[in-house]
Structure 1
Amino acid sequence: MVTTAYIAGATDAQLICVTYELFLEAIREALKVEGQVRKPHINRAREVLLVLSENLNLEVDVARNLMSLYIYIQDILINHYKDESKLEESYKLIEVIYEGYKEIAENGRHQVQTMQNTQAVYAGMTYGKDDLNEMIIESPNRGYQV
């Protein structure tokens, strides 16, 4: 479960992992259904892929390679009705990249929180058996500093 506290305290690699998780979830859901029911899941995956591609620094070789891969996967998503096995291929391709970023997020040197000066968010189980409640401590100086 991704919470406000997780996003506010996430590193750049962790935020990329969350984005890949959204893509993988959309493809998993698309593979469960057929026909027109699949369309909203495919559209969601395409939107996530667009976010990933828009945030690439194309001056770096690895980013250009990722862009080529994203273009290939976008083509799969557009033409998914021709060959359903390609959807599984797109899932596997992104899953490999996701696993790499997940390892970076867990062991990498880039452990700096992406958002500095954010609200303090405390999350935990309270009186409700299955409820997760978040408590936000307000501060007059929060968010990005200019």
Structure 2
Amino acid sequence: MTKEQIQRYTLRITQANRSQIIVILYDMILDDVTEASECYDDYDSFKKACNHITRCTADLMEALDFSYEVSFHLMQIYQFINRQVSTAVLKKEPAVLKYVASAVTKLKEAFEEVSKQDSSGPMMENTQTVYAGLTYSKSDLTEDLRDQGSSRGFRV
């Protein structure tokens, strides 16, 4: 992942509620699938992207609440994703990742609908305030972060 992608995801995570975080994890997996497919010739980068997919899937598994029946079905899908990623790494076949992308795309679409109905607040508190639209660069909108130097409860 590029530094810009990491910054974008970090900003989204700080502002996201529970269901939006799941959508962000799906977005991260899809970006990693694309990255793994593009950098297949560089096996270390391919493996690194696949490992990140596995870590994101592990986070999704940890978020499951097994008091709901749908969690058991989601667990099976996440296990399928992990098996496909392992197969891609072991056999050095990035084509296997198309099944991962297909499954995650469908899950992402479903959870985007769920997140529209979720009116809970952001999971993270005491984060930087982001003002979008105050400054512009030549080609795009930039964001302004306030209170970058002030203590937000973190101590060293």
| Residue deviations 1:42-70 (CA, integer Å, cap 9, x gap) | 11111111111111112321111111111
TM-score (norm 2): 0.74
Letter in 1 for 2:110: G
Q: Residue 103 of structure 2: which of 93, 100, 110 is its match?
A: 93
Query: Which structure carries more helix by proportion?
Result: 2
Residue 46 (structure 1) aligns with: 54
Q: How many residues align?
A: 140
Tell whether 2:75 aligns with 1:64: no
Deviation at 1:79, TM superposition (A): 1.1
Tell me the C-alpha RMSD between the 2 structures: 2.8
Q: Residue 136 of structure 1: which of 118, 141, 146 is its match?
A: 146
SS at match of 2:126: coil
Superposition pairs of residues 1-146 of structure 1, within 5 angstroms: 2=8, 6-35=12-41, 36=43, 37-80=45-88, 81=91, 83-106=93-116, 108=117, 110-115=118-123, 118-119=126-127, 120-126=129-135, 128-130=137-139, 132-137=142-147
Unmatched 5+ residue regions in structure 2?
none
8 Å contact 1:4–1:121 — kept in the other structure? no
